[in-house]
Chain A
Amino acid sequence: NAGVTQTPKFRILKIGQSMTLQCTQDMNHNYMYWYRQDPGMGLKLIYYSVGAGITDKGEVPNGYNVSRSTTEDFPLRLELAAPSQTSVYFCASRLKQGFVYEQYFGPGTRLTVT
Chain B
Amino acid sequence: QKEVEQDPGPLSVPEGAIVSLNCTYSNSAFQYFMWYRQYSRKGPELLMYTYSSGNKEDGRFTAQVDKSSKYISLFIRDSQPSDSATYLCAMGDNAGGTSYGKLTFGQGTILTVHP
Contact of B88 (CB < 8 Å), options: A42, A92, A102, A104? A42
Please tell me if the beta carbons of B102 and A105 are within 8 angstroms of each other in the complex: no
Interface size class of A (residues with CB under 8 A): 20 to 34
Given A42-B88, A101-B49, A107-B42 contact (CB < 8 Å): yes
Alpha-carbon separation in the docked complex, A80 to B4 (Å): 31
Please tell me if the beta carbons of A50 and B100 are within 8 angstroms of each other in the complex: yes
Alpha-carbon separation in the docked complex, A103 to B42 (Å): 14
Q: How far is the CB of A37 from chain B (nearest CB, A)?
A: 8
Q: How far is the CB of A42 from chain B (nearest CB, A)?
A: 4
Contact of B43 (CB < 8 Å), options: A45, A100, A106? A106
Given A42-B105, A48-B100, A103-B41 contact (CB < 8 Å): no
Please tell me if the beta carbons of B101 and A100 are within 8 angstroms of each other in the complex: yes
Q: How far is the CB of B47 from chain A (nearest CB, A)?
A: 11
Q: Who on chain A is nearest to B101 by CB?
A: A100
Please tell me if the beta carbons of A31 and B103 are within 8 angstroms of each other in the complex: no
Contact of B34 (CB < 8 Å), options: A41, A56, A101? A101
Interface size on B, residues (CB 8 A): 27
Task: Report B-chain residues with C-beta under 8 Å of the C-beta of A104.
Answer: 45
Q: Secondary structure of the B side of the interface?
A: loop
Q: How far is the CB of A106 from chain B (nearest CB, A)?
A: 5
Contact of A107 (CB < 8 Å), options: B43, B96, B102, B108? B43
Which residues in chain A, 72-98, are within 8 Å of chain B measured between CB atoms? Answer: 90, 92, 94
Beyond A107-B43, A108-B41, list 11 extra A-B contacts (CB 8 Å).
A40-B8, A42-B6, A42-B88, A42-B106, A42-B108, A45-B102, A48-B100, A56-B100, A94-B101, A103-B101, A107-B42
- Write the residues of chain B forming the contact surface with A, with a CB cutoff of 8 angstroms: 4, 6, 8, 32, 34, 41-46, 49, 88, 90, 92, 94-96, 99-103, 105-108
- Write the residues of chain A forming the contact surface with B, with a CB cutoff of 8 angstroms: 4, 31, 33, 40-45, 48, 50, 56, 58, 90, 92, 94, 99-108
Closest 8 CB pairs of A and B: A105-B43, A42-B105, A43-B105, A100-B101, A42-B107, A101-B92, A102-B46, A40-B8
